[in-house]
Amino acid sequence: MKIIDVVCAPGRTGFFFDDQKAIKTTATADGNAYIGEPCTPGFTRVRQAGESIAIMFILEDGQIAHGDCAAVQYSGTGGRDPLFLAADFIPVIMKEVAPLYKGKEISTFREMAHTVDSKPFHTAIRYGVTQACLDAVAKKNKKLMAQIVACEYGLELSDNLIPIFSQSGDERYTNVDKMI
């Protein structure tokens, strides 16, 4: 089965992008917002809505494999990739990433993921594209994504619930209900 097209759509994350440098130096908290000027390149506010890009592989049998390109709360600081804005990175995906997959045969997750992971794309792009790769392989093989990962990495699926990580930001006690 082949990937016949690649489509992108801008989206929002379930968290904010926070200018950590501004928060630690000049901004003041005001409820869920911050008052002050941003310090990190790309930010227009100290706290702004997190952005994502939905990347979709249109498969030749009509199915759609999906991945979410999303970055981290404190983008642009501590050696992290720059702020991930959909308008800036959809053109990168369509020009540089889509041709790597469009018209290609779906093989294994590891092989398909390596195609994008071996290149210096923004972490959010690699994150979302590898999700779409995994979903494509799962759809082709009529399996769950977890089954594909277990098979390709020689793992066993768990019979127990798996704990998940939640990001609370700096206000752990205030934000615990949001995480739940």
> To which residue do tokens 């995994």 refer?
134
CA 57 – CA 133 distance, rounded (Å): 8
User: Which domains does the chain show, CATH number per domain?
Assistant: 3-172 (3.30.390.10)
Rounded to two decimals, what is the model's pTM?
0.87
Residues 6+ apart with CB under 8 A from 6: 55, 56, 57, 58, 93, 94, 97, 98, 101, 102
Q: What was the pLDDT predicted at 132? A: 98
Q: Percentage of the chain surpassing pLDDT 90?
A: 82
Mean pLDDT over each residue of the chain, to the nearest integer: 94
CA angle 141, 147, 148 (to 5 degrees): 55
Choose the weakest-confidence range: 18-27, 96-105, 129-138, 164-173. 164-173
Does position 14 have pLDDT exceeding 90, yes or no? no
Mean pLDDT of 44-65: 97
Report the amino acid identity of residue 177.
D
Note the pLDDT tens digit of each residue in 95-152: 999 999 999 999 999 999 999 999 999 999 999 999 999 999 999 999 999 999 999 9
Pull the structure tokens for residue 34: 């911050």
Q: What was the pLDDT predicted at 177? A: 76
Does position 168 have pLDDT exceeding 90, yes or no? no
Note the pLDDT tens digit of each residue in 139-157: 999 999 999 999 999 999 9
